[in-house]
Amino acid sequence: MATDITDSSSGSEPIIPGMSFDLDIRNILLVDDDTDLLDVLKTFLESHNYVVTAAKNGVEALHEVIDLDFDAIICDMKMPTMPGDMFYLAVQRIKPYLCDRFIFVTAHEKEPKIEAFIRNNKGAILLKPFHIDELIRTLAMVFRKKHKH
């Protein structure tokens, strides 16, 4: 929801006509064992006013999901400790309504296990390397889907 910033003395006139701010805060969970990519994406998304939580594997991410519902979950497929597919299945058991908010990220889409998983599940997919515009478009799609439910 966008709201004009108004002068409190009049209550109706915008201080800066036409200037409005989007007050809809989006929480994003980033899950990737590549800490450089994690840092870059976190910095970029925060600069676009998203609240970002970062996790280095599925186990860390699962603890975050237990504590908070996220508007989007950007998740690498290949990680140590708990890979993306196992993390998704764990989320499916505890908070199934979050499953259509996943964006899977991988450079290994041709591996049979990953290919089968992607084909059989709800999440969007971004292939590494991806352009940041692709990420923004995919996030917008996830947010629209979430808003419809």
Amino acid at 81: T
Least confident of 12-16, 99-103, 107-111, 118-122: 12-16
pLDDT surpasses 60 at 24: yes
The class level of CATH for 25-148 reads alpha beta
Mean pLDDT of 3-31: 58
pLDDT of 123: 74
pLDDT class of 149 with cuts at 50, 70, 90: low
- Residue entry with tokens 């994690």: 38
What are the φ/ψ torsions at residue 30 (nearest 5 degrees)?
Answer: -105, 130
Q: What is the percent of the chain where pLDDT is above 90?
A: 66
Do residues 79 and 34 make contact, with C-beta atoms less than 8 angstroms apart?
A: no
Q: Residue 25 — pLDDT band, cuts 50, 70, 90?
A: confident
State mean pLDDT over 116-145.
90
Q: What is the pLDDT, as a whole number, of residue 148?
A: 67
| Contact (Cβ atoms closer than 8 angstroms) between residue 73 and residue 31 | yes
* pLDDT, position 23: 54
Mean pLDDT of 116-135: 88
Domain boundaries, the chain: 25-148
Q: Which of 1-5, 43-47, 99-103 has the least mean pLDDT?
A: 1-5
